[in-house]
Amino acid sequence: MKNKSVGIIGIGSYVPEHEMTNKDLEKLVNTNDEWIVERTGIKSRRIAADGEATSDMAVFAAQKALNDAGVAAEEIDLVIVATATPDMSFPSTACLVQERIGAKHAAAFDLTAGCSGFVYGFITGSQFIQSGLYKKVLVIGAETLSRILDWTDRNTCVLFGDGAGAAVLGEVEEGYGLLGSELGADGHGGELLKLPAGGSRIPASHSTVDQRQHYVSMSGNEVFKFAIKIMGSAALKALERAGLTRSDVDVLVPHQANIRIIQSAAKRLKVPLEKVVINLDKYGNTSAASIPIALDEAFHSGAIKQGNVVVLVGFGAGLTWASAVIKWNKGDHTIG
């Protein structure tokens, strides 16, 4: 039996109200606006309010996606939350979201693949629908990275922001939706981007707090070199599996980590920058939330139209990478 075609039938996003500009960061750490913009392309980022957790932002994004899809929470069969900053180690953030939105018939789990998380979740969720097990899956990328940043480390604190993006997946007309994908990991790079303490290897203690081991630790140059190499190749593999080439790409939605990495991926794919979705300047790197936030903004601004070939591609801690090729179905091609 032929697999069902699966696409995004609803999308939504949320970012906190509080904006932290580069000028604001100049008051906290030894840096300046010109230095940050030149090296990263970031001008500002959003920071969660006191008491605002990952699940709160995930719920806002989920509700927008459900409304966009015209789907009731009770129709959702599975909730996947991609995050590196869960509300707590357990229960899963997905279970907290499931309860809050009223998806009482849904299974729920979290997925940890760093900044690649949303695409990992999208491809994973699609399998449940393609196989016929489920009909509607809610995939969310949500992060509150501001809570695990060392605000005295200018190499990391300038890069990240908070936010959430969500997509409702469902069956779509044949030929639309997910056409090809690529997932990968290289655990040899696990030490390059990590949160050292708080797990079973290095449990939380007075010593780990004093040594600032509960903050993001990153070997920036090594991660940059990895990203430059993997973004283009991952997208090309997904295109190959879809039976498409670089010239077929209408819109590229990359992980919003660094403008130079995005430009390198576009060059490798021979996609002009006017076809690349970039909102890094406004939000910084929101990790697993970055691709769905960018996708939501691009669609609702009219930059993505029905029938467009859209490529999602990201990389993240692990090290991981993920890419998906979609023929955009949003519109008349949704099957109830």
Encode pLDDT of 74-123 as tens digits: 999 999 999 999 999 999 999 999 999 999 999 999 999 999 999 999 99
Give 331's pLDDT tier (boundaries 50, 70, 90): low
Query: Shortest CA distance to 115 belongs to which of 29, 230, 31?
Result: 230
Over residues 227-250, mean pLDDT: 97
pLDDT of residue 105: 98
DSSP structure class, residue 189: G
d(CA 250, CA 197): 42
Whole-prediction pTM: 0.96
d(CA 198, CA 213): 8
pLDDT of residue 3: 81
Question: Which positions ≥6 away from 242 have C-beta within 8 Å?
Answer: 179, 180, 325
The residues facing 218 across adjacent strands are 193
Mean pLDDT of the chain: 96
Would you say the C-alpha torsion 60, 217, 110, 159 has a positive or negative sign?
Answer: positive
Region class of 6: left (phi > 0), else alpha (psi between -120 and 50), else beta:
beta
pLDDT of residue 332: 42
Answer yes or no: are the C-beta atoms of 71 and 309 closer than 8 Å.
no
Domains in the chain: ranges and CATH:
6-175 (3.40.47.10), 178-327 (3.40.47.10)
Whether the predicted pLDDT of 336 surpasses 80: no
Region class of 270: left (phi > 0), else alpha (psi between -120 and 50), else beta:
left
Whether the predicted pLDDT of 289 surpasses 90: yes
Give 330's pLDDT tier (boundaries 50, 70, 90): confident
Catalytic residues: 115, 255, 285
Over residues 164-187, mean pLDDT: 97
Strand 137-144 and strand 78-82: the pairing is parallel
> What pLDDT, in 10s, does the model give residues 29-62?
999 999 999 999 999 999 999 999 999 999 999 9
